[in-house]
Structure 1
Amino acid sequence: MENKLLGLHHVTAMTKDAIENYKFFTEILGMRLVKKTVNQDDIYTYHTFFADDVGNAGTDMTFFDFPNQVKGKKGTNSLYRTSFRVPSDAAIEYYKKRFETFNVTHEEITEFNGHKVLRFEDDDEQYYQLISDEDNRGVQAGIPWENGPVPKEYAIYGLGPMVIKVSYYDAFIDMLQNVYDMEVVSKNDTYTILTMGEGGNGAELHVFHDEESEDSKQGYGEIHHVAFRVKDDEALNNWVQRYKEHRVPNSGIIDRFYFKALYARIGHILFEISTDGPGFMTDEPYETLGESLALPPALEHRREDIETRIRPFDTSRK
């Protein structure tokens, strides 16, 4: 059965303020808002998607905006840090200067697994890092935002390795190998690098062993889940069978309109497996992606109710 994981699909996190979050991602990071919609499980809250120029799978960072949510707490047994791919070491240097200009909290440039890395955070104290694709091989990146504020030769164009911390280190690695068919690239007592699909920065998990920290707590500034790519509906159906064979409880397939999804929790970590399509241009043209409130057909009859109850949020690009 074809059920190969192709790489990272998207990462979903939580923010205390969708509007400020939108400004940070579009004006400072230079990622395109490709969809402004609602959380399909909590329809009076926003779900925003930032990605490459056309919203390719493997490039999008998404956010839930839950009213009155508390701040999360960093710790172990969590999706700890999201990575974004940039084309080169020169792009890392460019963003460091950009972060200094915009007073973005950041660290010095370091190196991990042979790639230049720049760690930073936003106003929610969400943890991110940029990773250079210089000398990278593997899963192809996306397309830089054509009309974004960052020069295309430097711009973010995809998701990089997801950083995870767990206390049950060996058992978690075994699950990733045995259930998800991920390959261990390197392993020591501190961290393990695993890969899927064609490998490279767009298809890696960096799992760190952390028994010292307290467990993280969900809230704004924390990551909700990470999703992995599969080609199509057939591959996703095969994953339902695979979960059954491995006795992994799961959500069953859920149609999110822009893709189909299957959720399972491994320990504390929520994994989603998502189809590459249909994609984000099913209901909006390229020119105006993300400018209007988009609703899947199942919610369209509730548009008036939703629009009167959700906070106005202008994302038009004049």
Structure 2
Amino acid sequence: MYKIPGHHHISMITKNASQNNHFYRNVLGLRRVKVTVNQDDPSMYHLFYGDKTGSPGTELSFFEIPPAGKTYRGTNAITRIGLLVPSVESLHYWKSRFGEYGVHHGEITSYANHPALKFEDPEGLRLVLLVSDGEKVKHWETWEKSEVPVEHQIQGMGSVEMTVRRLDKLASTLTDMFGYTEISRTEDEAIFQSIKEEVFGEIVVKYLDGPSEKPGRGSIHHLAIRVKNDAELAFWEEKVRTRGFQSSGVVDRFYFKSLYFRESNGILFEIATDGPGFTIDGDIETLGEKLDLPPFLEDRRIEIEENLKPIEE
């Protein structure tokens, strides 16, 4: 039985790539590791931010959809992203930094049993900084050119929150199919870990009845979880199919291979391989500085570039 080693990446919707680029690079201090396009719709940017190389478990990705309207919050959605920082001192650093940059944030509190600081990006995407207690993503690499000091840099993804009508259905998918461990449960919340006692594979599931979320700018499209290679991806594809979920089948995204499915509440999961990674078509020093296209789109480069609005650096 293979184990899911944690999160791979998480994908969101932004209305404005330039504003998004400023916030995640200049305010959060992440590295923009890839500027590419949505492979299913090359008219829109697909931006990735993460550590020095965009290691699995550190990647935040955004599709730019300029007509995107407001997100109407509701249930059956991924509703918050946890980002790991090294210490409680880091939370105080970030609280001060958020005040300096006018970032909407709360007070230092706790979230899923971790010291925490909730905040939102300019489009209302809900995030929370969590103290990792040394539990950074194991292969996280320092980005030396970040504006954030190394001792306070974001070290990858932590708890990801999902809000659903049928908590037990999602719980069953996570535990029975993927082998997650349920580490706590109350009447309206349960916490699951892909590797026990490691927060970088943690999923917090909250119960909420009512209308489903209507996605827009600042909403979360899907969570991708990690597998090591093609053989493991094939194993999970069979598990998904046997469970009765409809799967996209394996899709070659060039930077990794993936499959997609929706669980019983409609939450979209991606299962993605660790490699080959973002250095397959670029060197480490210049990652994210130009538009990269997968080989099957390269012959359309001129057309694609003409349709994209330049990102303000």
TM-score, with structure 1 as normaliser: 0.95
Distance in 2 of aligned mates of 1:206 and 1:312: 37
Give, in angstroms, the shift of residue 3 of structure 1.
Answer: 3.4
Residue from 283, 308, 311 that aligns with 2:309: 311
Q: Aligned pair 1:278/2:276, yes or no?
A: yes
Distance in 2 of aligned mates of 1:141 and 1:284: 19
Could you report, residue by residue, the CA deviation over 1:4-58 in whole angstroms, capped at 9, with x for unpaired residues? 2110000000011011000000000000000000000110100000001111000
The corresponding residue for 1:250 is 247
Residue from 284, 299, 302 that aligns with 1:301: 299
- For the Cα contact (< 8 Å) 1:3–1:236, is it kept in 2? no
Q: Aligned pair 1:21/2:39, yes or no?
A: no
Give, in angstroms, the shift of residue 179 of structure 1.
Answer: 1.6
In the TM superposition, 1:48-59 aligns within 5 A as 48-59=47-58
In the TM superposition, 1:120-135 aligns within 5 A as 120-134=119-133
- Cα distance change on mapping 1:141 and 1:132 into 2, 3 Å: farther
- Cα distance change on mapping 1:113 and 1:221 into 2, 3 Å: closer
Distance in 2 of aligned mates of 1:4 and 1:12: 22
Distance in 2 of aligned mates of 1:20 and 1:113: 30
The corresponding residue for 2:258 is 261
Could you report, residue by residue, the CA deviation over 1:105-134 in whole angstroms, capped at 9, with x for unpaired residues? 000010134321110001111101110112
Residue from 209, 216, 222 that aligns with 2:219: 222
The corresponding residue for 1:65 is 64
- For the Cα contact (< 8 Å) 1:184–1:194, is it kept in 2? yes
Gaps of 5+ in 1: none
Distance in 1 of aligned mates of 2:167 and 2:6: 22
3-state DSSP class of the match of 1:109? strand
The corresponding residue for 1:171 is 169
What is the one-letter code of the residue matched to 2:110? Answer: E
- For the Cα contact (< 8 Å) 2:181–2:196, is it kept in 1? no
Distance in 1 of aligned mates of 2:272 and 2:140: 17
What is the one-letter code of the residue matched to 1:308? Answer: E
- For the Cα contact (< 8 Å) 1:77–1:167, is it kept in 2? yes
Q: Aligned pair 1:205/2:203, yes or no?
A: yes
The corresponding residue for 1:30 is 29
Give, in angstroms, the shift of residue 298 of structure 1.
Answer: 0.8
Distance in 2 of aligned mates of 1:304 and 1:111: 49
| Identical-pair percentage | 39
Distance in 2 of aligned mates of 1:287 and 1:245: 43
Give, in angstroms, the shift of residue 171 of structure 1.
Answer: 1.9
Q: CA RMSD in A?
A: 1.4
- For the Cα contact (< 8 Å) 1:233–1:260, is it kept in 2? yes
The corresponding residue for 1:110 is 109
- For the Cα contact (< 8 Å) 1:141–1:158, is it kept in 2? no
3-state DSSP class of the match of 2:309? coil
- For the Cα contact (< 8 Å) 1:7–1:199, is it kept in 2? no
The corresponding residue for 1:41 is 40
Residue from 166, 182, 185 that aligns with 1:184: 182
3-state DSSP class of the match of 2:271? strand
What is the one-letter code of the residue matched to 1:60? Answer: E
Give, in angstroms, the shift of residue 221 of structure 1.
Answer: 1.1
- For the Cα contact (< 8 Å) 2:136–2:155, is it kept in 1? no
- For the Cα contact (< 8 Å) 1:140–1:202, is it kept in 2? no
Distance in 2 of aligned mates of 1:312 and 1:299: 19
What is the one-letter code of the residue matched to 2:111? Answer: F
- For the Cα contact (< 8 Å) 2:137–2:156, is it kept in 1? no
Q: 104-113 or 190-199, which moves further after superposition? A: 190-199
Count of aligned pairs: 312
Give, in angstroms, the shift of residue 190 of structure 1.
Answer: 2.0
TM-score, with structure 2 as normaliser: 0.96
Give, in angstroms, the shift of residue 137 of structure 1.
Answer: 4.7
The corresponding residue for 2:229 is 232
Could you report, residue by residue, the CA deviation over 1:218-259 in whole angstroms, capped at 9, with x for unpaired residues? 111100000000010110011111112212111000011111
Gaps of 5+ in 2: none
3-state DSSP class of the match of 1:215? coil
- Cα distance change on mapping 1:275 and 1:113 into 2, 3 Å: same
